[in-house]
């Protein structure tokens, strides 16, 4: 059994500009087919618009509010919202308001800098 504590994971910046802490992936567990991380953006922050050729993603908003864009469709998102981002779809998330935006991000196959593409 593998149990990892979020607070014990070291943060790093992804290729899209968000700060993440990997909760479970191949760097800290015997993971093969997915990854789970917590991402955060400061007030006024945003990720760079991008897509992943291989990874399908789920975002689950745990704190704050934002504007989510997937393939040109924009939606306001808030705590408790879950977002599907299919592989190959352009996407970006921006904070809204004065609070940090935090979300869980699950990728299958696991997140990889090499699978992140920009305009």
**pLDDT tens-place string over residues 42-78:** 999 999 999 999 999 999 999 999 999 999 999 999 9
pLDDT of residue 17: 87
Confidence of residue 15 (pLDDT cuts 50, 70, 90): confident
pLDDT of residue 113: 87
| Mean pLDDT of all residues in 87-104 | 97
| Mean pLDDT of all residues in 92-100 | 96
Cα→Cα distances 3→8, 62, 111, Å: 11, 20, 19
pLDDT of residue 47: 95
Q: Which one, of 82, 83, 53, 55, lies nearest residue 70 by Cα?
A: 83
């Amino acid at each position: 059994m593998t149990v990892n504590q979020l607070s014990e994971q070291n943060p790093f910046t992804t290729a899209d500009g968000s700060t993440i802490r990997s909760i479970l992936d191949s760097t800290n567990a015997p993971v093969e087919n997915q990854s789970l991380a917590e991402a955060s953006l400061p007030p006024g922050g945003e990720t760079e618009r991008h897509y992943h050729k291989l990874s399908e993603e789920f975002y689950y908003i745990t704190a704050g509010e934002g504007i989510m864009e997937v393939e040109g469709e924009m939606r306001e998102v808030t705590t408790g919202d879950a977002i599907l981002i299919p592989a190959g779809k352009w996407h970006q998330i921006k904070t809204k308001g004065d609070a940090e935006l935090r979300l869980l991000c699950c990728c299958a196959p696991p997140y990889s800098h090499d699978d992140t593409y920009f305009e």
